[in-house]
Amino acid sequence: MNARRGLAAIALFVPLACTTKGSDYPYLPPTGAGGAGGTGMVTPTTTVTVKITSPSDGMTVSDSTDLGVSATVDVDMGTDLVDTSSVKVTVTAMGSAAAISTGQLVSTGGDTFAGTISLGALPTGSYTLEVSASSLAGVTGNDQVTLMVQGGPTLIVNAPAEGQSYNDSVSVQILVDQGANAPTATLAGNSVTLSPPTTSDKYDVYTATVWFGPPPPPPGAQTFQQLTGEQLLDVKETNGTANSEVFRTFIIDTTGPTITGTTPTPGEIVGGVVTISATITDPSGVLDSSVVAVIGDQQGNPIFTLQLPPQGSGVYSILFDALNLTRCGPPPSTLPCIVFPTISFRASDSVGNETSLGYDFSVDNMPPLADLDPPQMREMQLASFGYECSFLFDPLSVNKDAGDMPNDGCMVPQVFDLRARIEDQGNDAPGLKVSPISGIDPSSTSVYILTDNTQPLVVDTDGDGYCDAINPLLAPTSGPLTQADQVLKIRLGGVPPGGSADFEGSPIDPGLPIPGSCVQGLDPSPPKVLCQLDGFQQPTIAIGYSDNLPAIWSVEPIDPDHCMGNQLDTRANNIADGQWICMAVGTADLAGNHSVSRPMRVFVNYSDGGGFCATPPASAPAPPPCTGSYDPVGKTAALGACQTLKFTGTELYCAPGGC
């Protein structure tokens, strides 16, 4: 066993014979099987040795000087070399790893490296100077010496604060040792006049107030030209043998915050609950408590002051119910009504600069007016001799055939036209020329049909006597009715305005005088119909309003094949023959103001129906009221009376661009 061990030792010695330090040949890898472990490698160890030759350990130097540094760096194994870019010198406070100053040493020949490192205005004390280096293979080494730094005279700058923002002025406060020479200060290339010193503890205190805002400056302030942006204050102190110097950078900010991205936007039409918001930024920081939105009346008198809380990323916002701003109601209401309120966004930054941004926006707190049975109208148009008026016409029907749009209380056949006049209403005020409206919301505009006459279709939910909602206890369905608590809901679409009323020169309607503002029409022939349906007379006009918005809404599809919309098939929707049904429109404008029409009651007769708007049979019960009240607390509804908005009187219609 011992002999075998000796042979193993000899076998390992041979391949390593030429790998000793000092050989003129490269390291040779071991040969042979490497023993039971397989083909192993023996990796030589590299050592990087750094030796500082200057300054000497414990040397005393002055602060604010450039110190010469030299060192030797040696890599003592094989072909690995010094990475010359890695030779660095660093100064740290004794016991700290944070670098106060760093420098690069460069090769001066052989293994010697030299360079300088700048010592700033350091206080008196012990410091560590270290030189470090790496080999190309990444092996590192270092050496350290201790430096004794003799600092300059005491110099403390308490104000201005580093990086702080100021607006019209900045205060300077400098502390030096008692009895020391007076310091000097320079700002923006100008000398700062310091006050005579006052004594505080062990220091002499020098102060100054520099004014760079608009005149007049406060008493005792030194006036500088107007400054803005980042500024540098350079303060120096000397005791005759050593100097101390302190730099302070600060910001002069004379402008208020930037206000952008405000809502509502100028002129925007809003109603109901609206978000009041703005994006407000400032380099000095926005004073959150200063951000408000002031909403005033049409004369600018403040009505509401809203604190806008920060939401992050410079956004400030709050919800506001525009119903608190104006309480105008439907005619004949005399409540005051604001149409164009002002809004002023105001904010200050952390140094007191203020900014405000104000403009008008529009309020639409009035719901649309919807009517299934509006009064007749006349169209007015401009002629060579003045204005002329058309014959009276029903805006929803030609009132000729059994399937035409009925009137309230009529008997209808199985299939009939179903249309409504719907126009958005806006806030009104004396002297107002154009009322701002947000427009009808198509997704919230439908006709509702109820067959159960023991329940109200439209109800008053707030006790003000006006019907304002479809009965919440009813279950809307778009398919055939299958149970008593269901209400058929059919979406309506707007009919594009077009066509013309009848301006023929025939005798005017008997008993209905022409309005004094126009004379009888003189057209030689009747107007063209909007679309062709064989055997049935069709409308010649689809009215609009405002900026040519559709005033007629009908069952979809609305195309030339269906004239002014499709018809309702009662049998297809499981509406039984021989009964009264209630119909009403529920709608809303784009500002979220909701309303319902007055109900229309029609008696369904699957047969011919006896012609247009025939009288129901004597055996038919009295028409149902279709109106009632709803208790939102008890969640109950009861039949009863409630008023409904409707179009009233014979109106003059002026087609957009026609007057």
Q: Which among 218, 236, 252 is the end of a domain?
A: 252
Tens digit of each residue's pLDDT (9 = 90 or more) over 301-313: 788 999 999 999 9
Residue type, 560: P
In a domain, 324, yes or no: yes
pLDDT-derived band of residue 509, with 50, 70 and 90 as boundaries? low
pLDDT value at residue 12: 29
Residues 389 and 341 in one domain: no
9 pLDDT above the threshold of 60: no
- As a whole number of Å, the CA-based R_g of the chain is 47
> What average pLDDT does this structure show over 154-181?
89
Q: What percent of the chain has pLDDT over 70?
A: 88
pLDDT digits (tens, 9 = 90+) for 632-645: 999 999 999 999 88
Tokens linked to 490: 């059919």
Q: Is 5 a residue whose pLDDT tops 60?
A: no
Which amino acid type is present at position 67?
A: L
pLDDT value of position 17 = 33
Return the structure tokens found at 573: 């929707």
Last residue of a domain, one of 197, 225, 252: 252
298 and 410 both lie in a single domain: no
β-sheet bridge partners, residue 549: 545
What is the β-pairing status of strands 486-494 and 475-477?
A: parallel
Does pTM surpass 0.75? no
In a domain, 657, yes or no: no
Taking only the tens place, the pLDDT of each residue in 86-125 is 999 999 999 888 888 888 999 988 899 999 888 877 878 8
- Check residue 3 and give its pLDDT: 34
- Both 433 and 302 in one domain: the answer is no
User: pLDDT grade, residue 36 (50/70/90)?
Assistant: very low
Give domain status of residue 164, yes or no.
yes
Q: Do 574 and 445 sit in the same domain of this protein?
A: yes
User: Does the residue 658 lie in any domain?
Assistant: no
Give the separation between CA 165 and CA 440, rounded to whole angstroms. Answer: 51
pLDDT band of 369, cuts 50, 70, 90? very high
Task: Looking at 415-542, list the stretches that DSSP marks H as alpha helix, in order from N- to C-terminal side.
Answer: none
| Number of structural domains the chain divides into | 5
According to the model, what pLDDT value does residue 550 have?
Answer: 96
| 43 inside domain | no
> What average pLDDT does range 560-565 have in this prediction?
85
Last residue of a domain, one of 329, 363, 397: 363
Indicate whether 332 and 420 sit together in one domain. Answer: no
In a domain, 659, yes or no: no
Please tell me whether residues 346 and 437 are part of one structural domain: no
139, 164: one domain: no
Say whether both 385 and 401 belong to one domain: yes
- Choose the weakest-confidence range: 89-93, 312-316, 380-384: 380-384
> Are both 130 and 171 inside the same structural domain?
no
325-331: list long-range contacts, CB under 8 Å, 24+ apart: 325/295, 325/363, 325/365, 326/363, 326/365, 326/427, 328/365, 328/366, 328/427, 328/428, 328/429, 330/366, 330/425, 330/466, 330/645
Residue 405's CB is within 10 A of a number of other CB atoms, namely 29
The SS3 call for residue 69 is: strand
Residue 518 shares a structural domain with residue 443: yes
Select the more confidently predicted residue: 30 or 238: 238
The pLDDT of 461-468, averaged and rounded, is 93
pLDDT the model gives residue 544: 93
Helix (H, G, I), strand (E, B) or coil at 285: coil
Residues 6+ apart with CB under 8 A from 314: 279, 280, 281, 286
Same domain, 141 and 193: no
In order of 118, 188, 189, the CA distances from 248 in angstroms are 20, 12, 14
Q: Give the C-alpha distances (Å, rounded to integers) separating 304 from 35, 73, 273, 316.
A: 93, 77, 15, 17
Place of tokens 């930054």: 349
Amino acid at 11: A
Assign residue 198 the CATH number of its domain.
2.60.40.10
Pairing of strands 292-296, 342-348: antiparallel
Mean pLDDT over 333-362 rounds to 89
One domain, residues 288 and 411? no
- Range of 570's domain? 369-652
CATH code: domain of residue 337: 2.60.40.1220
Q: Pairing mode, if any, of strands 369-371 and 362-363?
A: unpaired
Q: Is residue 221 part of a domain?
A: yes
- Binning pLDDT at 50, 70 and 90, where does residue 65 land? confident
pLDDT above 60 (res 195):
yes
Give the pLDDT of residue 511: 52
What is the 3 state secondary structure string of 347-388? EEECCCCEEEEEEECEECCCCCEEECCCCCEEEEEEECCEEE
Q: What is the mean pLDDT of residues 572-589?
A: 96
**Residue 8: pLDDT band with limits 50, 70, 90:** very low
Instruction: Assess if residue 512 is contained within a domain.
Output: yes
Six token digits for residue 23: 């050989």
